[in-house]
């Protein structure tokens, strides 16, 4: 154990020395530059017009109805109840997610890529979510550089993670790392120093960029700590966000870099009502800083009905292979699915709270697999499941969406390139989700959105209300 800790400490120091060669002073330099290349300057221009837009909406339509609230919405997890303002993306039940109006295929076509015709750079998606504009390659490259400059993780963060046993779930280690990062919150300091409400968005922006920049470093530290004997790999500042994350995890294959770019792009945002985004938005409405809010979001993401489903899917697929072998017949597969359902479990990766068709995030991962790993046996099993599961879930009679979601596919792609440790998968989801959540948190503060505090009622209140309504 002490040998292990020795290696960890040495490699950690090495990676930190490389990171700290970037001075924080140059971040300020970048931010002060007012040019098209600078994300912050774009926000400075956009914020007043969006504030006016919200003011007008309030003045003209404050009492316009958005539908009726029914009892089943109150006791059924608020499904179908419109109750949140979330600017960065919108989910259509049939068509799937649009990021600032762009579908996933449109993002793949329009956002800058590292290679011609390649997958979008997640930095470009971040720019799009934050500003509503498609950035140029130069703008994205400048943002990549800025994120590198901001990526130095303080020493105490590694120590906080190291205090946990190696057996702690990677998501527990990740949330611990995020809470340790919170010590550097500029929002918290500014609030303590009496910052005016009109300026709240500025330290929120700083915290958000620092958090997004540092998460891959923390996440890969956890991966290397748990699965690779603590041998950390240093960042390469010449690489983009996705490729550098892949490198720090230990994967240099250009196809894996492309997968990471796609993965981080498509998991980033799914409008505001999903558990992680909603949690962050709620917590941030109390003026908790982005670290506190995102830490809370991660705890929701770690649940098996939400982000942990990607772990569950690969473990379940591997259990199918273990029991029935790789050349499983359709009949055997049907039997296995029924066995899962009859034992009171869900089929992971299928179903959704809002979607009513196949998730386009599933479809684009399938296209990636067809292009890069068509013969992978687990990919072929995922394809077979697509033929078998929806009709069984439909037969069950109660499942509103029998089609696959994003998590049904992600694990087999990572597994193909050597990232086989299913328990780690939700951490990757978390790194990506920071991009959507932080983009919206900046707008929450820029628009001055209030404390979130819906009304709750008791069963007795509902019974009385229904009795009175029936008269
Ligand atoms: N397997 C078995 N039963 C299911 C499934 C499934 N994949 N999906 C829904 N059901 C059941 C659900 O448990 C509920 O049963 P009961 O009335 O006995 O409680 C019934 O069908 C109705 O549920 P829905 O209204 O269709 O779904 P809901 O909106 O409540 O839940 C999920 C949505 C995503 C939680 C649910 O579909 C599920 O548990 N899926 C499997 C887990 C999963 O893949 N989660 C990842 C979602 C995406 N993400 O990344 O967050
Ligand atoms: C997500 O990406 O957050 C999931 O698909 C869950 C959801 O949208 O409710």
CA dist., res. 363 & res. 350, Å (int) = 13
User: Tokens 């996933």 belong to which residue?
Assistant: 104
Q: What is the dihedral of CA 297, 303, 307, 310, to 10 degrees?
A: 160
Q: Residue 131 pLDDT more than 60? A: yes
In contact, 428 and 218? CB cutoff 8 Å: no
Indicate which residue of 270, 306, 409, 416 is catalytic. Answer: 306
Q: Residue 118 pLDDT more than 80? A: yes
344, two tokens: 């009171």
In this structure, the residues whose C-beta lies within 6 A of any atom of ligand 2 are 270, 274, 353-354, 405-406
Q: How many CA atoms lie within 13 A of 278 on its CB side?
A: 12
pLDDT digits 0-9 by tens, 236-285: 999 999 999 999 999 999 999 999 999 999 999 999 999 999 999 999 99
Could you tell me if the CB of 347 is within 6 A of ligand 1?
yes
Task: pLDDT band for 37, please (50, 70, 90 cuts).
Answer: low
Indicate which residue of 281, 352, 409, 416 is catalytic. Answer: 352
Atom 45 (ligand 1): residue with closest C-alpha? 305
Composition of the chain by helix, strand, coil, percent to 5: 65, 5, 35
Write down the pLDDT at residue 30: 35
Question: Residue 249 phi/psi, 5° resolution?
Answer: -75, -25
Q: Residue 17 pLDDT more than 60? A: no
Q: Residue 15 pLDDT more than 50? A: no
Of the listed ranges 16-25, 106-115, 252-261, the one predicted with least confidence? 16-25
Atom 3 (ligand 2): residue with closest C-alpha? 274
Ligand 2 atom, smallest distance to 407 CA:
5
61 is catalytic: no
Q: Residue 31 pLDDT more than 80? A: no
Task: pLDDT band for 326, please (50, 70, 90 cuts).
Answer: confident
Could you tell me if the CB of 355 is within 6 A of ligand 1?
no
Q: Residue 86 pLDDT more than 60? A: yes
Atom 28 (ligand 1): residue with closest C-alpha? 353
Q: Which listed ligand is nearest to 271 at the C-alpha?
A: 2
Atom 46 (ligand 1): residue with closest C-alpha? 306
Indicate which residue of 38, 207, 289, 407 is catalytic. Answer: 407
DSSP 92: E
Write down the pLDDT at residue 6: 36
Q: What integer best gives the mean pLDDT of the chain?
A: 93
CA dist., res. 118 & res. 112, Å (int) = 9
Q: What is the pTM of this model?
A: 0.93
Which residue out of 80, 269, 346 has the highest number of ligand 1 atoms within 8 Å of its CB and is therefore the one to mutate? Answer: 346
Could you tell me if the CB of 120 is within 6 A of ligand 1?
no
Distance of CA 310 to the CA centre of its chain: 12
| Strand-pair partners of 97 | 91
Write down the pLDDT at residue 28: 31
Write down the pLDDT at residue 35: 60
- Angle CA 272–273–274, to nearest 5: 100
Q: Which listed ligand is nearest to 270 at the C-alpha?
A: 2
């Amino acid at each position: 154990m002490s040998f292990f800790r020795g290696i960890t400490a040495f490699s950690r120091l090495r990676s930190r020395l490389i990171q700290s060669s970037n001075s924080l002073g140059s971040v300020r330099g970048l931010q002060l530059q007012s040019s098209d290349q600078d994300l912050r300057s774009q926000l400075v221009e956009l914020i007043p017009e969006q504030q006016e837009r919200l003011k007008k909406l309030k003045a003209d339509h404050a009492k316009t109805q958005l539908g009726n609230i029914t009892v089943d919405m109150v006791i059924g997890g608020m499904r179908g109840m419109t109750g949140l303002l979330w600017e960065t993306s919108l989910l259509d039940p049939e068509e799937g997610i649009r990021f600032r109006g762009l579908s996933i295929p449109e993002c793949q076509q329009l956002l800058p890529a590292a290679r011609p015709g390649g997958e979008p750079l997640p930095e470009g998606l971040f720019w799009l979510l934050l500003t509503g504009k498609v950035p140029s390659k130069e703008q994205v490259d400048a943002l990549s550089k800025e994120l590198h400059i901001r990526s130095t993780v303080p020493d105490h963060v590694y120590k906080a993670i190291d205090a946990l046993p190696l057996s702690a779930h990677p998501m527990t280690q990740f949330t611990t790392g995020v809470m340790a990062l919170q010590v550097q919150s500029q929002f918290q300091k500014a609030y303590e120093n009496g910052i005016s409400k009109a300026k709240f968005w500025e330290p929120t922006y700083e915290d958000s960029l620092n958090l997004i920049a540092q998460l891959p470093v923390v996440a890969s530290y956890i991966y290397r700590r748990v699965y690779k004997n603590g041998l950390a790999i240093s960042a390469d500042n010449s690489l983009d966000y996705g490729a550098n994350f892949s490198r720090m995890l230990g994967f240099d294959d250009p196809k894996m870099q492309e997968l990471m770019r796609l993965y981080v792009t498509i998991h980033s945002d799914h409008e505001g009502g999903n558990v992680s985004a909603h949690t962050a938005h709620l917590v941030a409405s109390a003026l908790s800083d982005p670290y506190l809010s995102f830490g809370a979001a991660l705890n929701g993401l770690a649940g098996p009905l939400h982000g942990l489903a990607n772990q569950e899917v690969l473990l379940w697929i591997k259990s199918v292979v273990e029991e029935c072998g790789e050349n499983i017949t359709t009949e055997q597969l049907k039997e296995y699915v029924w066995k899962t359902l009859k034992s009171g479990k869900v089929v992971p990766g299928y179903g959704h709270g809002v979607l009513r068709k196949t998730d386009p995030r599933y479809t684009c991962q399938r296209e990636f697999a067809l292009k890069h790993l068509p013969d992978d046996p687990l990919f072929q099993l995922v394809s077979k499941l697509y033929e078998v599961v929806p009709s069984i879930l439909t037969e069950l009679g109660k499942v509103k969406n029998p089609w696959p979601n994003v998590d049904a596919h992600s694990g087999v792609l990572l597994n193909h390139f050597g990232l086989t440790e299913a328990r780690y998968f939700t951490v990757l989801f978390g790194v990506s989700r920071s991009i959507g959540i932080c983009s919206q948190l900046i707008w929450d503060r820029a628009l001055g959105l209030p404390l979130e505090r819906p009304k709750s009622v008791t069963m007795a209140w509902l019974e009385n209300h229904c009795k009175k309504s029936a008269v």
